Amino acid sequence: MCGILAVFGCIDTSQAKRSRIIELSRRLRHRGPDWSGLHCNGDCYLAHQRLAIVDPTSGDQPLYNEDKTVVVTVNGEIYNHKALREKLKNHQFRTGSDCEVIAHLYEEYGEEFVDMLDGMFSFVLHDARDNSFIAARDAIGITPLYVGWGLDGSVWFASEMKALSDDCERFVSFLPGHIYSSKQGGLRRWYNPPWYTEQIPSGPYDPLVLRAAFEKAVTKRLMTDVPFGVLLSGGLDSSLVASVASRHLADSEAACQWGSKLHTFCIGLKGSPDLKAAREVADYLGTLHHEFHFTVQEGIDALEEVIYHIETYDVTTVRASTPMFLISRKIKSLGVKMVISGEGSDEIFGGYLYFHKAPNKKELHEETCRKIKALHLYDCLRANKSTSAWGVEARVPFLDKEFLDVAMSIDPEWKMVRPDLGRIEKWILRNAFDDDQKPYLPKHILYRQKEQFSDGVGYSWIDGLKDHANKQVTDAMLMNASFVYPENTPTTKEAYYYRAIFEKFFPKNAARSTVPGGPSVACSTAKAVEWDAAWSKNLDPSGRAALGVHEAAYEEGAESKNASTTNGSSHKQQEVLVENTTAVA
């Protein structure tokens, strides 16, 4: 990951303004600690904080075309850059950077080149020939981007809103799969796959095609010139990522520099489900496994810093981001700069446990579409900003554009949970990798039911957060929450506590409006209740609710919780784990 900041239409072009741009760009240096760059031309500025992953020696940004009339600052990775260079043989490249193709593609194809890019990216490009500019974000919003407007009429873009919040009167999250064009005026969507309109697909399910698509998605993410590894929780998704990566590592370019032994990383409270499961998978795959522990108090101590970096007060995101933030610091200390992670699978395949209650394939498909479209506000935001806080890049093969095309074209009837046919959640993914001849994973791991991340790191983690918040927020504070926070009013003490921290760092209305909530969440919750009325009694956004689909896992985890908890809190009845039904925009 890198940090980008771009400003267009500044009235003030003084040295003081240049210094201010440098100061604001420095707020993003955690994303790119390896080098800084700044391009100035008249009333525009393009700043860059680089995390060097590909071509560390010569790929500094901003990047230019041959005569430097086109300049671009990019946050991301373009996995098909070598194939794109073949299309641009009449252009002269100055670096080995995967991102340099963007400047030349623009020269060759104009603004319509964005769909040619295979990767994760946010970029801003300036064309000095007519003083125009474009900005674009990848299909799903894996990399963050914000757009803002100054009182002087200037337009701002940045990887994180902390670089905009003081100088822009208004700013919003830049929509995934969109391009902003100064020539055409405003945003338009460049990513328009058939599934995006929520039309019900009718494609066949071919397990070998699905498997091949995912293996391709993983192997292309082995493109790196720096040490890397896999985040391994021991669940299905991260285990498949680790299994495929370990199989193909020996044939990758990375193996030439860093060897063919895959590094895997896991974090949790002592005795947590994730630590046990990850160790089992790592032993089976023969990876170099790194296991880290944290305490509830260490997590609580990190909360303010976590919220500053992830720029949200969403409860489930804060809960899950904290362990990821902590492990990223450990990973960076080992000299690792890139990790591959398993985000996106549950949204694509209906893997959350509440999908057991989907009444038909139409509603299941529509729900998966809604969740994929909201990923940039939740799991993508968490995975990117939690790791980037320490200069680590997270890559997510399940959200590969080609893999999405394959997975979302399958008739959603195959994604339905069918106990009568022996199909649990994500059966089509599990079945695709069920290979008796050359197993990817042991059967009991391949068909293991999911853990929610916040609970997987330790069953006392959520309870510890709640107990801490209860001590910080009084009953009177919560009772008057609607007056203090009339927008997205917190309904629990934990939510109030996170909101107060967020407001300290980001006090503007524009900032709080970038966090999902209000009608969209209410609509989503209503949808969940429509599937099962029992959800109406579930006030905790973690998704712990009384649905009898995960009792065995909870009972096993409860033993671990009772052994490790030190805060004295306990669940007074058996709760089972389901997905956060509020996390849909």
Contacts of 511 (CB under 8 A, 6+ apart): 161, 165, 171, 311, 502
Distance CA 161, CA 184 (A): 25
What are φ and ψ of residue 506, in 5° steps?
A: -130, 80
Q: How far apart are CA 533 and CA 458, in angstroms?
A: 28
Backbone angles phi, psi at 261, to 5 degrees: -100, 120
Q: How far is CA 95 from its chain centroid?
A: 28
Known binding residue 231? Answer is yes
Asked if residues 60 and 104 have their Cβ atoms less than 8 Å apart, the reply is: no
267 annotated as ligand-binding: yes
Q: Which residues contact 169 (CB under 8 A, 6 or more apart)?
A: 148, 149, 150, 151, 510
Close Cβ partners of 437 (under 8 Å, ≥ 6 residues apart): none
User: Which letter does DSSP use for residue 569 in this model?
Assistant: -
Give the DSSP H/E element, type plus range, for residue 382.
helix 379-388
Residue 451 has which token pair?
């853990």
Q: Name the percent of the chain in helix, strand, coil, to the closest 5.
A: 45, 15, 40
Distance of CA 406 to the CA centre of its chain: 21
Q: Which residue has the tokens 């900005």?
A: 135
36 is in an annotated binding site: no
Please tell me the distance from the alpha carbon of residue 403 to that of residue 391, in angstroms, as a whole number: 27
CB 121 within 8 A of CB 136: yes
In the chain, the amino acid numbered 27 is R
99 is catalytic: no
Return the DSSP state at 220.
Answer: H
For 467, other C-beta atoms within 10 Å of its C-beta total: 17
Q: Are 298 and 326 in contact (CB under 8 A)?
A: yes
CA dist list (Å): 43 to 2, 184, 213: 23, 20, 45
Q: In what order do the strands lie in the sheet with 146-149?
A: 35-41, 44-50, 3-8, 155-158, 146-149, 170-173
Question: Active site residue: 2, 99, 369, 380, which one?
Answer: 2
Q: What is the largest CA-CA distance in the chain?
A: 71
105 is annotated as contributing to ligand binding? no
- C-alpha distances out from residue 111 to 32, 326, 554, Å: 27, 40, 51
- Is 428 annotated to bind a ligand? Reply is no
Residue 482 in tokens: 């609607």
What amino acid positions are annotated as catalytic residues?
2
List residues forming the annotated binding site for L-glutamine: 98
List residues forming the annotated binding site: 98, 231, 267, 341-342
List residues forming the annotated binding site for ATP: 231, 267, 341-342
